[in-house]
Amino acid sequence: MRILKHENHIDLESPIFMNSKQIEIFKNGMKDIFGDDVLFTDVKEPKLKGVTTHIRYTKDQLPLISNLDINVEDVSKQIGKSEHAINLKRGRLLKKLLEKAKKENESFSSDKNIKEFVEDELRKN
Amino acid sequence: MNSEKIEIIVGSRGNIDFKKAIYVSEDRLNKLLNLLNSLFYPVNIVDVENFKERNRVNSINSRYKRLFHKEEYEFLLNSSSIQEAAEKLGIPNMRAITKMEKVISEFMKWCKRQGKDISSMTDPDSIKRFAEDLEIIHKDAKRYKEMTKEENNKIRNKLKRIDKIIKKINEDIDINKNLSKENQFTGVGRDAELKAKSLQLKKEDLEKEKSNLKERFMEIRNNFNKIKEGELTLNESNIKVSKQHEE
């Protein structure tokens, strides 16, 4: 994150998301630093649209998700799932792929290797 | 000493923001940085000329953007888990996953462009280089979009206008052709025939102009996609913001 500074004033470059534990630590820390000068105001944020994170994909759909040459928008159109759902599925898979490449030094030198890895992972789930 | 209250907005979904820029002494700034550093990574302080207006958590539409820079891209790739990335970057889990999808995909393309295997590029130095390149790519793409926005709008408007004119010309051609048919071998008929031919030529010129405009539109779009994909840099693309379509 970036804290913007101009003379003796600072601002956040963009809002920060915190989990409940982080919020508690942040609030206590701010009170310690700024004492009574700090004021917390709760605001209601719009709810996020419902996102189903555990979607089952059929055998026909797996090759499309695993083909990284096809962009998320096109995969979404072809299999009728939201772009967000495809992003989530691919994001988790790619993180696994990266970890495997890091830890096991496994070669992903060709598109075929990558495709096979992603399809294997998709089958496991 | 500035006694102004510091208002912190706590959003119901967990987004935290300042209500506005706050005054801080050096001592308090250091303490605040220590606090943020204990919770997040990376935390960087950047000097700016002024604070630009931005949407905040309490804004009515709440359409604020969380900006990412090279440090964040680097951390995303180096983080050991999605959970760690989300917590340290100060983003929700789902955002961390979707961001990973984009950044790791870009990383794989980047490795491919370098003719390297992803497994040989996961060392911190390579990841740092990639993060720097990705930031440049994003900046270039944004800059190119800004540079061509006006021209794009002009092309779109001109295409709409040409379509309207062509529609009217087609109607006039039909009228004149009918008139010529109904008044064969008369002066009126001959005039109508000539008028229809002249309109046809005008239509062909407009079709040609339309085709050139569409070609330029596609050129801009392709350049943008290539810049976004890292296949073209803003310098290499020999960007010419065309003046020929100005009204």
pLDDT the model gives residue A51: 62
Percent of chain B whose pLDDT exceeds 70: 92
Kindly report, residue by residue over B72-131, the tens digit of the pLDDT. Answer: 999 999 999 999 999 999 999 999 999 999 999 899 889 988 888 888 899 999 999 999
Average pLDDT over residues B3-29: 92
Q: Is residue A52 part of a domain?
A: no
**B143 pLDDT above the threshold of 70:** yes
Domain span holding position A111: 62-124
Give the closest-approach CA distance of B225 to chain A in angstroms. 13
**A9 pLDDT above the threshold of 50:** yes
Shared-domain flag, residues A67 and A118: yes
Q: Is residue A120 part of a domain?
A: yes
For chains A and B, count residue pairs whose Cβ atoms are closer than 8 Å.
216
**Which of A52-66, A80-94, B125-139, B179-193 is the least confident region?**
A52-66
Average pLDDT over residues B214-222: 95
Per-window interface: B 69-108 vs A, CB < 8 A: 69, 72, 77, 82, 86-87, 89-92, 94-95, 97-102, 104-105, 107-108
pLDDT the model gives residue B238: 57
DSSP string, B99-158: HHHHHHHHHHHHHHHTT--GGGS-SHHHHHHHHHHHHHHHHHHHHHHHHHHHHHHHHHHH
Tell me how far apart the alpha carbons of residues B41 and B29 are, in angstroms, rounded to a whole number. 17
Four-CA torsion B175, B176, B180, B181, nearest 10 degrees = -30
Shared-domain flag, residues A79 and A114: yes
Shared-domain flag, residues A27 and A73: no
B78 exposure class (CB count in 10 Å sphere: 0-12, 13-18, 19+): middle
Shared-domain flag, residues A74 and A114: yes
**A63 pLDDT above the threshold of 90:** no
Kindly report, residue by residue over A15-44, the tens digit of the pLDDT. Answer: 999 999 999 999 999 999 999 999 999 998
Q: Residue B17: closest CA among chain A residues belongs to which residue?
A: A15
Shared-domain flag, residues A68 and A20: no
Q: In the structure, what pLDDT confidence band is assigned to residue A89 with cuts at 50, 70 and 90?
A: confident
Tell me how far apart the alpha carbons of residues B58 and B16 are, in angstroms, rounded to a whole number. 10
Q: In the structure, what pLDDT confidence band is assigned to residue B43 with cuts at 50, 70 and 90?
A: very high
Shared-domain flag, residues A66 and A27: no
Shared-domain flag, residues A67 and A119: yes
pLDDT the model gives residue A109: 66
Shared-domain flag, residues A23 and A74: no
Q: In the structure, what pLDDT confidence band is assigned to residue B59 with cuts at 50, 70 and 90?
A: low
Whole-model pTM? 0.79
Q: What is the mean pLDDT of chain B?
A: 90
pLDDT the model gives residue B5: 87
Q: Is residue A94 part of a domain?
A: yes
Four-CA torsion B216, B222, B227, B231, nearest 10 degrees = -130
Q: In the structure, what pLDDT confidence band is assigned to residue B243 with cuts at 50, 70 and 90?
A: very low
Q: In the structure, what pLDDT confidence band is assigned to residue B231 with cuts at 50, 70 and 90?
A: confident
Contact flag B101-A46 (C-beta cutoff 8 Å): no
Shared-domain flag, residues A110 and A66: yes
Q: Is residue A29 part of a domain?
A: yes
Nearest to B108 among A8, A68, A84 (CB): A68
Four-CA torsion B91, B95, B97, B99, nearest 10 degrees = -100
Shared-domain flag, residues A69 and A29: no
ipTM associated with this complex = 0.85
State the total domains in chain A.
2
pLDDT the model gives residue B245: 42
Residue B57 in contact with partner chain A when CB distance is under 8 A: yes
